[in-house]
Structure 1
């Protein structure tokens, strides 16, 4: 029973760490990264569709991304969605077949602003991990009548170790992303 609670908490914490890493990828650095464009929603025949489902994304150069739509009729809508996407500051150019997006250089102030955004995302992920810990601890406390108090306290110590490991993973990912953002 305790092992089940801990296994579920471990799975959920690992998912929270993965979500945090995915969120970090949506914050742009000086390079063109296809992950930045995955979540851009394009109005495709009246429904918002993620760009990753409508086109292939390739980064042939450090600051250029090439968007090749699967359906050429969606070219204008894709171009419009990229141009209006927040936090990109990129201007797409359309040649009738593909869209080239050249990422502008980041200023030092803009880099610091992105670091603040990433830190906020990291804190949100840490809160999610702590909430998972709290729910798992409540589940362990509910087991006190069925299993011994020593087993429950051992489970709580193990849960605290899991929480610390997953928060450390988030901190490590944050440090890597900050270094990437501040790299000129």
Structure 2
């Protein structure tokens, strides 16, 4: 029974970590190299992350600079940024690629909050599915006579408490991200 609870807790922690990773890709008013984390460049026929073929940095709060190590990669990186759904426009001067992040409009901020809310709901669904799986595992243990009915009820209550704690943690994470996005 303890292993079922421990497994559920571990999986729920992973769901929270995945939510935080999704939030790192959501653009706030500040430049962050994590915006480019999911971006892959078709480098000699192989999808390669930008940070593996270039130096990526943020010289100030509104600019991201990308300096590919290979001259042939400049156009590829530029094309990958334009194709992505980031809505960013790179400027290539032959030595470095600059991405200026425009200030977010009120509508865009609200849109980003909606996206964040969607990510949060998806993560909550994942946690609820983990809860269901754990409860099913406990019922199977009870059916196989490995645990008593009282243990089953106690286990289900523990799993519910854990689920509530992780859902509250997700809500806190979302509230923090929403505040960050709406901050001017």
Measured on the aligned residues, the alpha-carbon RMSD in Å equals: 1.3
SS in 2 for 1:49: strand
Match of residue 168 from structure 1: 168
Deviation at 1:24, TM superposition (A): 0.9
**Is 1:182 aligned to 2:177, yes or no?**
no
Preserved CA contact (<8 Å) 1:89 1:103: no
Match of residue 8 from structure 1: 7
Match of residue 83 from structure 1: 82
Deviation at 1:17, TM superposition (A): 0.3
SS in 1 for 2:98: strand
Question: How many residues get paired?
Answer: 182
- After TM superposition, the score normalised by the length of structure 2 is 0.94
SS in 1 for 2:119: helix
Which of residues 135, 138, 146 in structure 2 aligns to 1:140?
138
Unmatched segments (≥5 aa) in structure 1: none
**Is 1:34 aligned to 2:51, yes or no?**
no
Which of residues 86, 99, 102 in structure 1 aligns to 2:100?
102
Instruction: For 2:114 and 2:164, locate their aligned partners in 1 and report how far apart those are by CA, in whole Å.
Output: 23
Match of residue 93 from structure 1: 91
SS in 2 for 1:168: helix
Unmatched segments (≥5 aa) in structure 2: none
Could you give the per-residue CA deviations for residues 137-164 of structure 1, whole angstroms, max 9, x where no partner exists? 1001101121111112111111111111
Moved more, 147-156 or 110-119: 147-156
